[in-house]
Amino acid sequence: VEFLYCDLASMKSIRQFVQQFRAKNCPLHVLVNNAGVMLVPERKTEDGFEEHFGLNYLGHFLLTNLLLDTLKQSGTHSHNARIITVSSATHYVGKLHLNDLQSRCSYSPHGAYAQSKLALVLFTYRLQHLLTANGSHVTANVVDPGVVNTELYKHIFWVVKVVKWMTAWLFFKTPEEGASTTIYAAVSPEMEGAGGCYLYNEERTKSADVAYDEELQRRLWTESCKMVGISDEASRLP
C-alpha cells in the first residue's frame, strides 16, 4: 500500500496528485470515488465552489477525467478497468439546478447534498455512454452504500446525533458492511464488462428517473468541464 495525498476540495491538489501518480507509470485498474461531506454549513472550497458540489461532485469529475487515459490504457477486452462512484439514496430526492449549481439563491444543506449525489449518478451514466462510444475497455458504475455508521453525520442536529447513537446498532451498517457493494463493483467477476449500473446491496437497481435524462446528463457534463477548466471533447459525441 502506498499513500499519495489528494484533497478533493482543491483542483490544484487533484492536478498535483495526478501528476505524481502518472510519474510512477503504474497501471490503474480500479478507481473508487468515495470522498464526501454531508450537511455542512454554507461554505466554499478554495476554488470558490459550494462545498457539497465542489468536493462531492466536481472533485471526482476532474479526478476521473484526468485519469481516463491511464484507465483506458490499463483495461483490456477480458479485464476492463473499473470506475466506481459512491452516491447515496439521497439522490432520489435531489434536484439539479443547472442555473444555480452553487446554491447561491437559496442554500439548504440537505438540498445541496442531495444535488451533489444526483450529479454523481448523472455523471456516471454519461461517462459510461462516452466510454462505450469510444470502444474503451473501461466501465463506470455508481454505488449506494446504504446508511453507514461513520463520521459523515457529524454535522447533523445534536438531538438526531443522540438518536443515531442509540439506534445505530439496529439501523446502521458498519463501515465494513457499507463498503461491501463498492468492493463488489470493483472486483466481482459478475460485473466484468458491465457499466452504467446503479448498485445497492450488491444488486443492480433503478436510480431516480431524472438520472436517465440524457439531455440533462450532457448539459451537466458540459457545464462541469467549464467549471473545472478541461476540454469538453465529449460534446462532439452523441
| pLDDT, tens only, 157-201 | 434 444 444 555 445 667 677 688 999 999 999 999 999 999 999
Q: Which CATH number does the domain 11-233 belong to among 3.40.50.720, 3.40.50.300, 3.30.1060.10, 3.30.70.2860? A: 3.40.50.720
Predicted confidence (pLDDT) at residue 74 exceeds the cutoff of 60: yes
CB 142 within 8 A of CB 88: no
The pLDDT of residue 1 is 87
Q: Does residue 36 or residue 54 have the better pLDDT?
A: 54
> Would you place residue 139 in the very low, low, confident or very high pLDDT band (cuts 50, 70, 90)?
very high
Predicted confidence (pLDDT) at residue 18 exceeds the cutoff of 80: yes
The pLDDT of residue 172 is 64
Predicted confidence (pLDDT) at residue 237 exceeds the cutoff of 90: no
Sign of CA dihedral 139, 65, 175, 37: negative
Of all residues in the chain, what percent carry a pLDDT higher than 70? 85
In the predicted model, what is the mean pLDDT of residues 95-124?
92
CA distance 36 to 53: 10
Sign of CA dihedral 10, 14, 16, 17: positive
The pLDDT of residue 115 is 96
The pLDDT of residue 231 is 87
Please tell me whether residue 5 adopts helix, strand or coil conformation.
coil
CB 50 within 8 A of CB 105: no
The pLDDT of residue 60 is 97
CA distance 145 to 77: 28
Using only the alpha carbons of the chain, give its radius of gyration: 17
What's the gap between Cα 171 and its chain centre? 24
Torsions phi, psi for 138 (to 5 deg): -140, 135
CB 88 within 8 A of CB 117: yes
107 is catalytic: no
Q: Tell me the pLDDT of the chain averaged across its residues.
A: 88
The pLDDT of residue 165 is 44
The pLDDT of residue 162 is 43
DSSP label at residue 189: G
Predicted confidence (pLDDT) at residue 97 exceeds the cutoff of 80: yes
Q: From the candidates 5, 57, 92, 113, give the one annotated as an active-site residue.
A: 113
The pLDDT of residue 193 is 96
Helix axes of 109-133 and 214-228: crossing angle, nearest 10 degrees: 100
Q: Does residue 104 or residue 112 have the better pLDDT?
A: 112
In the predicted model, what is the mean pLDDT of residues 202-231?
96
End-to-end CA distance of the chain: 40
- Amino acid identity, residue 225? C
Predicted confidence (pLDDT) at residue 16 exceeds the cutoff of 90: yes
Determine whether 40 is exposed, middle or buried from the number of CB atoms within 10 Å of its CB (0-12, 13-18, 19+). Answer: middle
The pLDDT of residue 94 is 94
Q: Does residue 163 or residue 45 have the better pLDDT?
A: 45
CA distance 186 to 192: 9
